[in-house]
Structure 1
Amino acid sequence: MSSTPIPFDVLGRYNPAPGTEYPFSVSDIARATAHMLGPEWDTESRLWGTGHIFGHCVATFTLSASPTTGSKSTTFPEGPELPEGVHPYSDGVYAPEANSTWGLEDLAELCADAIVP
């Protein structure tokens, strides 16, 4: 029987191997979002796994795990229609309850709904 290494170091601190903590990255969510939005949308991975989503409209979107840098648009509309659980902030939107346990498809769908309601 093979054993899976426990992701803790000798001092008991949580220490998973790089790339094993989450089943997908923020840039994976951005790619799945662009795919859901359709063939006229594309994405580009950015620093630390963020994703830049762009399409046929003037706005571009940067998806990130941090509300201080996430889901920004340089041309964000006034009073956008946002899906439940998505809130506006100074220069973008954020979904405070979103987390990896929702799954890639559900997170991408939430992002797609926030971009094109």
Structure 2
Amino acid sequence: MRTAKRNTVYLLDEDTAVRDTVNSLCTSRQLKMQHFTCAQQLIAQLDENQPAFLITAYQVSDMLVTDLLAEIQQREPSLPVIVLGEHSNVSSAVESIRAGALDYIEKPVYSGRLVEHFNMLATDGTYTE
């Protein structure tokens, strides 16, 4: 049985600084963070639960981000996805947005634009634009 975990943010990134930043944002908003280090784990979890939104690194070790976004579009077309990528990499940003990402934020991530996305979560955990 599939459940909505609207109080949970999924993070797919191996960078500990990103993990700490996202965890801090989640804690300050009484949200849970579920951290993944490989895309296959995350995809398997999507079959069971639907998070409020997903934050993923552009460079994922076991899958191209465009393939990950295509998979998410098939399973959860309404799931907001934020891609974190390298500074000044316009082609990666365009590729991510075209593949279905809601936003592309350059690393290093401190929290600025991420905070905007967290602020779009309604009290029931649904993402509103």
TM range (shorter): 0.3 to 0.5
Structure number with the higher helix fraction is 2
TM-score, length-normalised on structure 2?
0.37
Q: Which has the larger radius of gyration?
A: 1
Structure number with the higher strand fraction is 2
Higher relative contact order (CA 8 A, sep 6+): 2
